[in-house]
Structure 1
Amino acid sequence: MRQHLRRYLFSLLAALTLLCAAAVGVSWAVDPYRIFHTAVEGEPVEGIGPFTRITKPYMARNIAPRILLAGSSRAEYALVPSEAERLLGEGPAFNAALSGPNIYEVRRMIDHANGVGNVRTLVLGLDFYMFNAQLAPQDAFSDARLAVTPEGTGNRLGWLSDLPLALLSIDTLEAVRKAQKYRGRGDPCQDIWYRDGTRLPGLLECEAATNRGFRDSTSSTLKFYLTSKTLYKDYRMAPNGLADAAHILEEAAARGQRVVLYFSPVQALHLGAIDKAGLWPLFETWKKEIFRLAERARKEGADIALWDYARLSPLTAVTLPPENEEPWQGAFYDSHHVRPEVGKRMIAEMLAAGAERPEAGGVRLTASNLDDELAHQRAAFLAWWQAHEEARIFLNDALPEESR
């Protein structure tokens, strides 16, 4: 009896071992997170949208960047690594931007890139919402996989932290199923990444392909920002947000990096959302605090510049198109994402590479112009807002009735 039981248990154990080995083999071969198989130059990487916080640290290890582009999805879509390489005449460049991060996640991705590469130039897009105290790191984010600990020490074995998840877990098997279903479909409405972190906005292109689509995308994003507590509803500044920004600048100064900071462009309608939420005074204070940190780093010898695109300008003063099916070809996909073509103009303006410096609607903030510029921004926005009744109606209609 005992012998039969032992044989049964042995057979069961062998079957489970084979099953686990098969699952590990399939997970490794399909590699839904793209952490085992390095993409070659020009190879599209599909289906990693939910997993970029897992995938991008491994991409950065493979690239070992000298030029780092960082920020949120606004920077991920707008800033093209190959364009930065062309303008600066060196590389490699890597886009480490993430979708919807708080400032801590941004800081840690920059720490990681510094740990795996020799970053000489940092271009960082900053967004007001990143500093919301109610915006926590997303579930897929993990300090354990990064090359540098939060305390600043090396973490050489960080890449091992994802092996259990990536090879044998229910989540990975589900990711394998989806990868098999969606990869290689040639869907033009699917976002595509490349090994340098470039993200092609297939979904946004489809959603904003027409005037009606652009209006719908703008309306839905305005509603999302004004009704989400992790964005503008009941906004309050994170206690450690400015400390994280200061850490980025101090580390860059210690490494002798060139730093280009910028406030990301948003539509005038999005500025209207900030104003409607009663956040404009805090929005201005945030800009001043970032400037103060940048100026302190500059006085200590850092090569640093701060540009402001989150202002009324010919770029952001978008006139709403008629609600029809005519193609939409404006600079924005929605209330806050610009096309890569605009990002190329921005990065050329900020880097001032040679004679190539096209006007992109930004202004460089300095000690001599800061207060006047912010006062001008407020006055210019109020004048535009008062003159565009259709914009005020559009923003009001975007909100649920109880929020108007």
Structure 2
Amino acid sequence: MFSEQEVYNLGLTGTNMYEIYQTYQYARQNQDLDLVVFSLDFLAFSNKRTVSGNFHKSRFSSKSNLFAQVTEFISLYKLEYSLKTIQSNKQGKVLNEIGGFIEPESEDLEHRQAFDDILKNNFFSNQETYAGYTYSQQRLKLFREIVADCLANGIELRLFISPVHARHLEAMAIMELFPTFEQWKRDLVTIVEEEAVRFNQTSPTFWDFSGYNTITTEAIPPRGDKTKMQWYLESSHYNRRLGNLLLDIVVRYPESIDDASEDFGELITVNNIEEHLTKIRQEQALYRRNYAFEVAEVAKLFQQVNQK
């Protein structure tokens, strides 16, 4: 889809809107941008998601300086890390920033265990994710500034909310975050519309892939079964195939995509957001009837974590 374009993937691990805003500003200062494809993450708008110390040392940070950049990139640690990265890439693995390996195509991955672990060890217990989630108006303001800058400078902006698995949405619901999640979507489409009106521009396309659809309700193999899922690694991370599919939809719109399910993704605006949220709630009720055992599993995991 980007074969004839110069593209940079500015994906950051465990990031927040402050870091995203800083990296966007860095890109603007160093390149002439034609298109920004922006994946919006609910967690990036939480006050509890801290800014990494490594980020402040990076070239992206406005607080960085030449000495910090030189010492960050010229060191034995960086040399060792770079060599490990090259080696892991040759093995088809991805080396993450804390030295662990992610093996998205591993045949040994037991999906149900991975689904359980990500909730128990992260989202149900980590203050920087859902356990301490605090919706930040300041970080929402940074989103507004990115939208405004794109519209003011003729940069095409395409937005989307990623398709977490339906089981993940149930985790958000049991933690009483679903109303905030819905309000976040309302706030985003309102900002997009307000800035489009202010600059007399057409509103950027904005896709919501979250919700309960054919893809996000994919069945999870039973415990002990290592059958490979079609779309997901665990509830918050999907595989490359799904990533390519949603990028095709976002970037090639209004061209239709043959491989896309009809119910996967919906364009959202201030005019249809309430209808859209109502539809998701209806689909949520259907999921809870059809997958009551999954909802019960999520509730059980939440109870286990909170009893510790």
- Coarse TM-score class (shorter-chain normalised): 0.7 to 0.9
1:260 positional shift: 0.7
Cross-structure match for 2:222: 322
> Which letter maps to 2:278?
A
1:235 positional shift: 1.7
Cross-structure match for 1:99: 13
Separation in structure 2 between the aligned mates of residue 337 and residue 130 of structure 1, nearest angstrom: 15
| Higher relative contact order (CA closer than 8 Å, sequence separation 6+) | 2
Matches within 5 A, 1:275-286: 275-286=173-184
> Which letter maps to 1:162?
Q
1:313 positional shift: 0.8
Matched, 1:191 2:94: yes
Separation in structure 1 between the aligned mates of residue 39 and residue 255 of structure 2, nearest angstrom: 24
2:27 to 113, 125, 146: 113
> Which letter maps to 1:236?
T
Does the residue aligned with 2:8 lie in a helix, a strand or coil? strand
Cross-structure match for 2:249: 349
What stretches of structure 2 of length at least 5 have no aligned partner?
Answer: none
Does the Cα contact within 8 Å between 1:120 and 1:258 map onto a contact in 2?
A: yes
What TM-score comes out, normalization by structure 2 length?
0.86
Q: Deviations over 1:42-98 (max 9, x none)?
A: xxxxxxxxxxxxxxxxxxxxxxxxxxxxxxxxxxxxxxxxx3x14xxx410111110
1:177 positional shift: 4.1
Matches within 5 A, 1:201-240: 203-206=103-106, 209-210=107-108, 213-223=110-120, 224-240=122-138
Separation in structure 1 between the aligned mates of residue 137 and residue 180 of structure 2, nearest angstrom: 14
1:325 positional shift: 4.2
1:205 positional shift: 2.3
Cross-structure match for 1:131: 45
Larger radius of gyration: 1
Matches within 5 A, 1:333-344: 333-344=233-244
Q: Identify if the C-alpha distance between structure 1 residues 340 and 256 changes in structure 2 by more than 3 Å, giving closer, same or farther.
A: same
Q: Identify if the C-alpha distance between structure 1 residues 186 and 305 changes in structure 2 by more than 3 Å, giving closer, same or farther.
A: closer
Does the Cα contact within 8 Å between 1:256 and 1:302 map onto a contact in 2?
A: no
Matches within 5 A, 1:24-63: none
Does the residue aligned with 1:315 lie in a helix, a strand or coil? coil
Q: Deviations over 1:333-385 (max 9, x none)?
A: 11111122212221222233574424251100023321111011112112212
Q: Identify if the C-alpha distance between structure 1 residues 177 and 381 changes in structure 2 by more than 3 Å, giving closer, same or farther.
A: same
Q: Deviations over 1:168-204 (max 9, x none)?
A: xxxx3344345556743666362179xxxxxxx9523
Cross-structure match for 2:207: 307
Paired residue total: 297
Cross-structure match for 2:36: 122
Cross-structure match for 1:57: none
> Which letter maps to 1:221?
I
> Which letter maps to 1:163?
V
Q: Identify if the C-alpha distance between structure 1 residues 181 and 284 changes in structure 2 by more than 3 Å, giving closer, same or farther.
A: closer
Cross-structure match for 1:271: 169
1:145 positional shift: 2.2
Identical positions, percent: 19
Separation in structure 1 between the aligned mates of residue 254 and residue 273 of structure 2, nearest angstrom: 26
Matched, 1:293 2:228: no
Does the Cα contact within 8 Å between 2:190 and 2:270 map onto a contact in 1?
A: no
Q: Identify if the C-alpha distance between structure 1 residues 332 and 247 changes in structure 2 by more than 3 Å, giving closer, same or farther.
A: same
Q: Identify if the C-alpha distance between structure 1 residues 322 and 247 changes in structure 2 by more than 3 Å, giving closer, same or farther.
A: same
Separation in structure 2 between the aligned mates of residue 262 and residue 241 of structure 1, nearest angstrom: 17
Does the Cα contact within 8 Å between 1:229 and 1:235 map onto a contact in 2?
A: yes
Separation in structure 1 between the aligned mates of residue 6 and residue 256 of structure 2, nearest angstrom: 21
Separation in structure 1 between the aligned mates of residue 226 and residue 246 of structure 2, nearest angstrom: 27
Separation in structure 2 between the aligned mates of residue 186 and residue 241 of structure 1, nearest angstrom: 34
Separation in structure 2 between the aligned mates of residue 107 and residue 286 of structure 1, nearest angstrom: 18
Q: Identify if the C-alpha distance between structure 1 residues 190 and 159 changes in structure 2 by more than 3 Å, giving closer, same or farther.
A: farther
Separation in structure 2 between the aligned mates of residue 186 and residue 345 of structure 1, nearest angstrom: 23
Separation in structure 2 between the aligned mates of residue 376 and residue 181 of structure 1, nearest angstrom: 47
Separation in structure 2 between the aligned mates of residue 234 and residue 186 of structure 1, nearest angstrom: 34
Cross-structure match for 1:65: none
Q: Identify if the C-alpha distance between structure 1 residues 367 and 178 changes in structure 2 by more than 3 Å, giving closer, same or farther.
A: closer
Q: Identify if the C-alpha distance between structure 1 residues 116 and 219 changes in structure 2 by more than 3 Å, giving closer, same or farther.
A: same
Does the Cα contact within 8 Å between 1:259 and 1:305 map onto a contact in 2?
A: yes
> Which letter maps to 2:269?
T
